[in-house]
Structure formats: C-alpha cells, structure tokens
C-alpha cells in the first residue's frame, strides 16, 4: 500500500517541479500547480499528494528530529550557528525553514481552491480532500508561528507580485490555524483514524486535527480549550502501545494507533529516513556518521529505577567534586596497559581510582539502574549494539579507548570521533543488516504527532489550570508502560511523591523530554516554556564528552533568540515585512 502511495508522490513531484521549477525556487512563491492538474479525479488525487509531499522537506516534517539537537536532549557534533552565538537573519536555517513551509502553504492554497472549483469529485470525496489539505496548511502555519511569532497569511493562490503582505500578529495566525483545523473537525467525511493496513494511513484525520488544535491552544495559553481537544483525541481511536517499548520505534509498529500522523517513509532512495546516516556509527549498517549525539545533560536527567533523581556519587563516590579530566578514569575499559594508564594520568585522569577488572561493570550499573527509556534511546558506555559490516551482523560494545575491530574481537563501536567519547543514539538507528536497505534511506516512518505526546499535553493543560490527580494518572500511563514507577501524592517519603502543582509541571516537562526525544519536539517545547536559555545555555555548557569535558561552548546572544529572525532575503524582497526585535543581518 505504502509503495503505491509513494510512487504517486514521486509522480506528483515531477509534475509540480516540471511545470513550476522557477517558482519553487523563488521566495515568496507564486501560486504552485497547473491548470490541468484538477480536471480529472486521478490528477486531483495527485495534486493533493503534491501537498503531502511537502512533508518530505527537511524542516517541514522529514527531518524535524534534527531540532532536538538544539534543545535539551541532543547536540550537534560540531557547533551550529544557533548555539555558538554567530547566527544572523541570513542564516540558511531561517531561510529554508521559511521557504519550505511557505511552499507547502502555496501548494495547499492552490489545491483548496481548485478542489472546490474544478475537481470532478463526489461531494464526499471533495469534502475529505479539502479537509486534509486544510490540516496540512494549518500544520505549515503552525511550524512558522511557533518560531517567528507572526507571519504573512495567504489563504488564496497568489502571483509573485501579490506575495507582499505584511506580518499578521502571532494571535491572528493562531486564529487562522484554529479555523482551518475546526473546518477539518467539522467535515463529516474526514475519518477519525485509519486502521493499520488501510491504504490511507498517513493522511490527515480528525484525531490529528484535534491533536494539533489542542497544541495550538497550548501555545495560546487557552488551557481549557486545549484540555477539551486533547481529551477528544483519545475518544477517536488512538491509544498507547503496550508491548516491548523498543518495538514501538520499529517498522512493525509504525502504523500502531499511537502514531497519529507521520511522515511516510519507505526503503527506497529519496523516500526514506536519514536518521541512520547521521545518528548512527561506523558499525551501523552502511558505515554511518555520528553527527548528532545525545547530550550528557539529557542522559544524566533520567531518574533511577525507583524514581529518585540520578546522582553520580551514588555509583561513583566523589564523582561530582572531581574535574571532568579526573572523571575520565571511571569511563575507561578494563585491562589497560601500563602505557595507557600513564597516558591517561598525564591527561589529568585520577588513575588511583581505576579498577583493572571492574571498571566497566561499576560504570554500567549507573546506566542499567535507570528509567528503561534511557537505554532504549541511547547507546551508553559498555552497553551492546547489534550493528553490521556489509551483510553480516555483529554485536558491538561501546568502550573507551577504542581498540577495534569491525569484524573481530573485541568488536568495539567505532565512530567518526574515536579520539573523543560521546553517547550515541539508539533510537531511529537500525540494527543488524536487515532493517534498512541503505544507510541513507531507512523505512521507518517519522512521527509528527504521537498519542504519548497528546497524553502528556493533556496532563500539561490540566496542570496549568489546577492541580489534579487525573494529570498524575495521565503521566503514569506513559511511565508505567515502560516499567518506570508510578507517581503518587500520598506518601511524601517516596521519590515518586508529587508535592504540588509546580512539581507536577516540572515532572510533566521531564516526561516529554524523555519520552519524545529525537522526534522534533524538544527544542520547540523549551522555547514554548521559556526554558531554552536555562537548560541549554547555562555557564559552562556546550558540546560535551560523556564525563563533561567541553569540546565546543554554547553562547547565548540574547532573549530575542526566542523569536527567530525573518529571513533577510524576505525582508529585502517584501518591504512590508518587519523584522523581529534584536536581529540584524
């Protein structure tokens, strides 16, 4: 089913770009599409798929996981302009984020108008397709508004010369988004959800529309309306996956009712995910790069199995008072040679604490005694990973220092950064030699809206209005399915005790960080909460090795970073655009 759908998308891309290639590379865009596109049912179907195809743009849908690296949970191996203090309004991040989402908006406007005026469809099908496209248009505007905080609104096809509107207020854009999503919800022919195996899996549904509208209300701080919408999602069919948690992120469960709306991937060149390529290692199938990495702060934030806060000193006494260089000793492999011991001592490691035959085991305990989601998502030191060399699978272990080899003992995890020791992603990185046909196109769908996200947003919406045991129950539904202990507010002596509204708010935020890591949500959550500066840019933070040595520092330029810059090229072409305060080219 998915193969047929993706081939249709390929055809659509060729049709659109063949007719309008000059316009697709121009910002602002002219109306996108062809007068011939909407004159038959089959071409109308392709026209709608052309709007869906916008989700395969990096910053619209396909690679939104990338943004977690600039939030709390991850980091780029090399400093980025967004975190090193050098970003300007001309940066490609802003330019492409704006361009890609507006391309989707103009495609959607063209489709909505022509579906209603020209497409020879039954009223039922026309109603469904228009609702789907309105959902997509709302999603594109949502992406823009959450970072630029007010953008030009186009709801009709425009020519290049007409694309010169000024910015609407942030509130006005939220109203536009809510209106589109309300139209989706009110469309009788839009299904609640699609069951696994249905050829329409991947299309917009009422459940997706309620979820996105509920999230918009969270941004608007209209928590009562957010609560009502997010409650509705669970009534329409989505549910939490209850099996082996690791398997939720595999192909077998990419159509589980927990996955409400996803970018559809398939194991074909240009149509698959690229997380394997950029989040893997040299022993991942295809010999991949570890360009994006879990941040040590993220790893250290995971609770212990009993729900108490993690503290290195509980496992490695004296750790917290040591310098990062001294702490290196705890991460060293067993059986170092005399020369290696002397080398690490010369670099500042406190080798008096080295255990020649137990160093690995005592460190491993610090990771195994944790919320199970940690080791599902991260390859931690001295844990194993099933990788591959060619068509042959091998089991590797992440050790330090690296000794080798890919196809023989000791089977160490090899990376692009063997001179440094980082955590590696396990989530969205394929195992063995059979899960992916190539390193740069994997088959697993990329979720954009997941029911666990909805459950935690509902808990947040409730908590922002009142302290409630119901919110605790909602959080527990996400925690207990992975084996984490349930939160409670009856026994203050237990680490799972919730002491009040403020404490519950922070616990919900942590659950979102742990549960939704590498799903393109973390950075935008931190910006929405206003916590990005404190969580990411505190003094002494940066790109870190596992024991805390900074390889590249972060630099906070100012609070104006919470409102991204309107791309300088857009400001120059459209004199009605006003730049966000604080930004210069």
pLDDT tens, position by position, 403-431: 999 999 999 999 999 999 999 999 999 99
pLDDT band (50, 70, 90) for residue 34: low
For residue 10, the surrounding DSSP H or E stretch is: helix 2-24
**Alpha-carbon distance values, 110 to 11, 116, 142, 155, 187 (Å):** 18, 10, 19, 9, 20
- Residues 546, 527: Cα–Cα separation, whole Å: 25
Mean pLDDT to the nearest integer, 276-283 = 96
pLDDT band (50, 70, 90) for residue 2: low
Lowest mean pLDDT, pick from 128-142, 151-165, 236-250, 276-290: 151-165
Output 34 or 384, whichever has higher pLDDT. Answer: 384
Taking alpha carbons only, the member of 547, 168, 108 closest to residue 328 is 547
Mean pLDDT to the nearest integer, 385-395 = 96
> pLDDT tens for residues 513-542?
999 999 999 999 999 999 999 999 999 999
pTM equals: 0.94
Taking alpha carbons only, the member of 466, 504, 99, 445 closest to residue 272 is 445
**Other CB atoms within 10 Å distance of the CB of residue 313:** 10
Mean pLDDT to the nearest integer, 263-271 = 93
Residue 148: is its pLDDT beyond 50? Answer: yes
Mean pLDDT to the nearest integer, 247-255 = 96
pLDDT band (50, 70, 90) for residue 78: confident
Taking alpha carbons only, the member of 45, 52, 49, 19 closest to residue 33 is 19
Taking alpha carbons only, the member of 137, 143, 145 closest to residue 220 is 145
Lowest mean pLDDT, pick from 81-85, 242-246, 550-554: 81-85
> pLDDT tens for residues 190-218?
999 999 999 999 999 999 999 999 999 99
Residue 460: is its pLDDT beyond 90? Answer: yes
134 touches 115 (CB < 8 A): no
277 touches 439 (CB < 8 A): yes
Mean pLDDT to the nearest integer, 132-142 = 98
pLDDT band (50, 70, 90) for residue 29: very low
- Provide the percentage of residues in the chain whose pLDDT is more than 70: 94
Residues 6+ away with beta carbon under 8 Å from 335: 356, 357
One DSSP character per residue, 509-525 reads HHHHHHHTTTSS-HHHH
Residues 6+ away with beta carbon under 8 Å from 526: 71, 72, 532, 535, 536
303 touches 309 (CB < 8 A): yes
Lowest mean pLDDT, pick from 95-99, 156-160, 182-186, 325-329: 156-160
Mean pLDDT for the chain overall: 93
Taking alpha carbons only, the member of 379, 449, 553, 455 closest to residue 64 is 449
Q: Could you check whether the bond before residue 401 is cis, i.e. omega within 30 degrees of 0?
A: yes
Residue 98: is its pLDDT beyond 50? Answer: yes
Residues 6+ away with beta carbon under 8 Å from 280: 286, 288, 289, 290, 424, 425, 429, 430, 439
pLDDT at residue number 21: 28
- In the CATH scheme, what is the code of domain 2-268? 1.25.40.390
444 backbone φψ class: left, alpha, beta (φ>0; ψ -120 to 50)? beta
């Amino acid at each position: 089913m998915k193969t047929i759908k993706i081939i249709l998308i390929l055809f659509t891309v060729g049709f659109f770009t063949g007719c309008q290639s000059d316009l697709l590379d121009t910002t602002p865009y002219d109306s996108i599409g062809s007068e011939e596109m909407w004159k038959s049912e089959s071409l109308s179907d392709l026209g709608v798929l052309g709007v869906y195809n916008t989700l395969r743009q990096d910053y619209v849908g396909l690679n939104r996981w990338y943004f977690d690296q600039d939030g709390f949970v991850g980091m780029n191996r090399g400093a980025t302009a967004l975190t090193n203090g050098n970003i300007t309004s001309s940066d490609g991040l802003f330019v492409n984020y704006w361009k890609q989402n507006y391309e989707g908006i103009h495609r959607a406007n063209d489709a909505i108008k022509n579906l209603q005026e020209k497409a020879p469809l039954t009223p039922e099908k026309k109603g469904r397709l228009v609702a789907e496209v309105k959902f997509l248009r709302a999603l594109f505007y949502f992406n823009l508004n959450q970072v630029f905080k007010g953008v030009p609104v186009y709801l009709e096809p425009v020519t290049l010369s007409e694309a010169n509107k000024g910015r609407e207020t942030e509130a006005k854009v939220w109203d536009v988004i809510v209106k589109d999503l309300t139209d989706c919800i009110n469309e009788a022919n839009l299904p609640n959800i699609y069951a696994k195996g249905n050829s329409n899996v991947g299309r917009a549904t009422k459940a997706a529309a309620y979820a996105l509208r509920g999230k918009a209300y969270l941004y608007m701080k209209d928590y009562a309306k957010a609560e009502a919408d997010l409650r509705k999602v669970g009534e329409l069919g989505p549910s939490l996956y209850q099996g082996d948690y690791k398997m939720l992120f595999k192909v077998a469960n990419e159509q589980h009712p927990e996955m409400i709306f996803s970018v559809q991937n398939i194991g074909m060149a240009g149509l698959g995910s690229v997380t394997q390529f950029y989040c893997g290692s040299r022993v991942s199938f295809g010999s991949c790069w570890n360009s994006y990495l879990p941040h040590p702060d993220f790893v250290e934030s995971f609770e212990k199995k009993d729900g108490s806060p993690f503290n290195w000193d509980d496992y490695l006494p004296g750790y917290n008072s040591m310098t990062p260089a001294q702490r290196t000793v705890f991460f060293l492999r067993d059986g170092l040679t005399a020369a290696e011991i002397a080398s690490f001592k010369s670099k500042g490691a406190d080798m008096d604490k080295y255990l020649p035959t137990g160093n690995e085991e005592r460190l491993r305990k610090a990771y195994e005694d944790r919320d199970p989601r940690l080791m599902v998502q991260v390859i931690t030191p001295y844990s194993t990973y099933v990788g591959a060399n060619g068509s042959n699978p091998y089991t590797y272990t992440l050790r330090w220092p690296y000794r080798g080899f890919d196809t023989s003992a000791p089977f160490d995890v090899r990376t692009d950064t063997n001179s440094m020791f980082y955590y590696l992603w396990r989530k969205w990185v394929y195992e063995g030699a059979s899960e992916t046909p190539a390193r740069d196109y994997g088959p697993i769908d990329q979720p954009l809206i997941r029911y666990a996200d909805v459950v935690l947003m509902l808990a947040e919406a409730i908590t922002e209005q009142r302290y409630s045991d119901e919110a605790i129950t909602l959080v527990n539904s996400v925690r207990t399915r992975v084996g984490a202990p349930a939160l409670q507010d009856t026994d203050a002596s237990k680490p799972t005790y919730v002491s009040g509204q403020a404490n519950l708010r922070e616990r919900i935020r942590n659950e979102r960080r742990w549960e939704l890591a590498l799903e393109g949500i973390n950075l935008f959550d931190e910006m929405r909460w206003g916590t990005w500066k404190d969580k990411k840019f505190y003094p002494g933070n940066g790109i870190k090795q596992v024991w805390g040595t900074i390889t590249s520092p972060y630099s906070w330029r100012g609070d104006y970073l919470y409102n991204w810059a309107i791309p300088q090229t857009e400001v120059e072409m459209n004199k009605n655009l006003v730049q966000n305060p604080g930004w210069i080219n």
